[in-house]
Amino acid sequence: QPGAAQSVPPVLPIAEVVADRDADTIPDGLNRRFSVRGVTLVGNRALQAQNYQLLVQDESGGLSLYTRSQQADVEAGQVVEASGTLGQFRGAPQLFIDRLEVVGEAPLPAPRAVPLAEVDSWQHLGRRVRVEGLAGPLSLEGYGRLRIDGDDGTTLSLYIPQAAVDRFDWSLYPRGARLEVTGVSSLYKETWPYDGGFQLVVTSPEDIRVLAPPTPPWVRWGLYASLPAAALVALSLLVFASMQRKQRLRQQELATLGALSTAFAEPEGDAAQLSRRACETLSAYGVTSAVCVHLVGEDGALVCVARSADTGERQQALDRLLAAPIEADDLADGPAEALARAGLPTLACHPLPASEGRPGWLSVPSMGQQRLNAMQQRVLLAAVKLLGLALENRRIREQAERERAALHRLAVTDELTGLYNRRFLDEYLRMQVPVARRRGSGLAFLSIDIDHFKSINDRFGHPAGDAVLRHVAAALRAASRSSDLPVRMGGEEFLVVAAEADLEGTIELAERLRRAVESIDLGALGIDPGLRVTVSIGVAQFGVHGEESEGLIQASDEALYEAKRGGRNRVAVAGARAAGTG
């Protein structure tokens, strides 16, 4: 140790004495003599086991003063001035003093509140600091060592010198209690520089304060016990929410299916109208915002016949893409691929079930959406089936209607001449007689019979007779007006019902018909060109000769016989003598 005779260097701030500018843990002034002045933080008596050691602090920093020789008793709060050589012990700088003088008293410097992790650095070495943490394990082996754990996960040792251990009632600091501790930061490395670390030197029980007692075990157990219950509640909430969502989707699905069946319950409308009904229902019930139906046209091209009625911006873009038909050549690998090539990728593209109708597809353009959920897929498939059925029903209904009309036409048409037959005449008169009665419009009956037809049959054969019948029918049809109805009553007898005609006009018509038959050229039929086919005509007028169709027909028939009796090839009016040429 240097002797007392050595010169006393001027007092320097402690921070300058322990300066470590190279950050290599070795103070720059190692082995040089310094004088410092500071307040004693932990008295010598409290650190008896450490030979003679004082922990002092001035405004700039803290330092340990150490000597092996007996010096005076110094209490915490006394100001000391000391000189010595700077050294270090297990990593911590300390002044190996040869001179110490108590020069006054001062209050202990206020401790600086420091996060636990920050104490683990050189910055606060030798100074009073205050930290907070939870009490950890305690060991009492001569000295006391209590570990505290910071909120940030770092730990720190409280070092309580042997002399102070008995002053502590350790039961006051049970594990888990939240503590506030004031102490002097010091470094103690057992096998410096490889292990050990910072610790807080605490000598007074007042320097440890319990902020909060540890959590009682029953709270912890309660917490552990409530965890499964909380998990169960959370799980139930999740299940409930998922059930509610499922139920909402189910309701939406049922409502949409109901609306679809109602939409197709009405059979009215063509294919485009039925398709539009499907699209509008799907979008109105929120199943998809964009949906469209394509049908293959007569020329084989795929044409969009309906789409959902949204008017948003995206829909306008969709409209532009849907406007152009997809040509038949483009459909080779299916409509979904053809639509995708046309800039319209789809999430679904289902063929409409139809046995003989035009092939068609219901598709959902993706419009940025990734996929359809299970409910959407189910409803779409149902919509496809219902629409397909509706289209098929419509097609079958139309075909039945056409067949019924054809059958009716057959039933009311005379096969040989193509004129309407007696059955149709009855239908026609059921409608026309009340009209004539109501409006007072003219209605006339012209009974027509071919003269000496039997002899044509007999001379030229039955087929020639048929040909004559056809020609007479054609001549009657050609000479009639569009409002007149020529009918073959059977055999060689015809009846023309003339609407909108008065008696004068009817007689004119009868003459016209008579002349038309007379001018038929029978030479072209292989019949003697010298022969003429003629008809006799009897006329009866509604309102003049009666108002019931049966009576009027009978009257015209009687007039016809009158014409026959009058020499044939002439017109006779009911209740009058036969007129015309013979």
Ligand X SMILES: Nc1nc2c(ncn2[C@@H]2O[C@H](COP(=O)(O)OP(=O)(O)OP(=O)(O)O)[C@@H](O)[C@H]2O)c(=O)[nH]1
- Provide the minimum distance between the beta carbon of 461 and ligand X in the complex, in angstroms, as a whole number: 8
Task: Give the pairing of strands 112-113 and 128-141.
Answer: parallel
| Closest CB to ligand X among residues 271, 469 | 469
Structure tokens given for 149: 């754990």
Cβ contact 86:77 at 8 Å: no
Instruction: Please state, in angstroms and rounded to a whole number, the distance separating the CA atoms of residues 377 and 383.
Output: 10
Residues 6+ apart with CB under 8 A from 402: none
Instruction: Please state, in angstroms and rounded to a whole number, the distance separating the CA atoms of residues 544 and 324.
Output: 66
* Region binding ligand X by CB under 6 A among candidate stretches 105-113, 303-311, 328-336, 464-472: 464-472
Q: Which residue number has the CB closest to ligand X?
A: 465
| Closest CB to ligand X among residues 58, 451 | 451
Q: What are phi and psi of 480, to 5 degrees?
A: -80, 160
- Between the alpha carbon of residue 90 and those of residues 141, 398, 460, the distances in Å are 20, 108, 150
| Closest CB to ligand X among residues 56, 450 | 450
- Provide the minimum distance between the beta carbon of 428 and ligand X in the complex, in angstroms, as a whole number: 22
Q: What is the DSSP string of 439-493?
A: H---EEEEEEEETTHHHHHHHH-HHHHHHHHHHHHHHHHHHS-TTEEEEEEETTE
- Provide the minimum distance between the beta carbon of 448 and ligand X in the complex, in angstroms, as a whole number: 11
Structure tokens given for 20: 């470590």
- Using CA of residue 520, residue 525, residue 526, residue 527, what is the dihedral sign? negative
- Provide the minimum distance between the beta carbon of 467 and ligand X in the complex, in angstroms, as a whole number: 9
Cβ contact 92:78 at 8 Å: no
Residue 526 near ligand X by CB under 6 A = no
Size of the residue set binding ligand X (CB under 6 A): 15
| Closest CB to ligand X among residues 283, 536 | 536
- Provide the minimum distance between the beta carbon of 386 and ligand X in the complex, in angstroms, as a whole number: 54
Instruction: Please state, in angstroms and rounded to a whole number, the distance separating the CA atoms of residues 523 and 565.
Output: 28
DSSP at 241 = H
- Residue ranges in 477-496 that form contacts with ligand X under rule CB under 6 A: 491-492
| Closest CB to ligand X among residues 258, 491 | 491
Binding mask 542-571 for ligand X (x = CB under 6 A): ----------------------x---x---
| Closest CB to ligand X among residues 9, 491 | 491
- Provide the minimum distance between the beta carbon of 563 and ligand X in the complex, in angstroms, as a whole number: 10
Quickly tell me which residue has 């139809």 as its tokens.
354
- Residue ranges in 491-520 that form contacts with ligand X under rule CB under 6 A: 491-492
- Provide the minimum distance between the beta carbon of 531 and ligand X in the complex, in angstroms, as a whole number: 14
**Closest by Cα among 244, 295, 245 to 274:** 295
Residue 466 near ligand X by CB under 6 A = yes
- Residue ranges in 422-461 that form contacts with ligand X under rule CB under 6 A: 449-454, 457
| Closest CB to ligand X among residues 141, 415 | 415
| Closest CB to ligand X among residues 500, 558 | 558
- Which residues bind to ligand X, rule: CB under 6 A? 449-454, 457, 462, 465-466, 469, 491-492, 564, 568
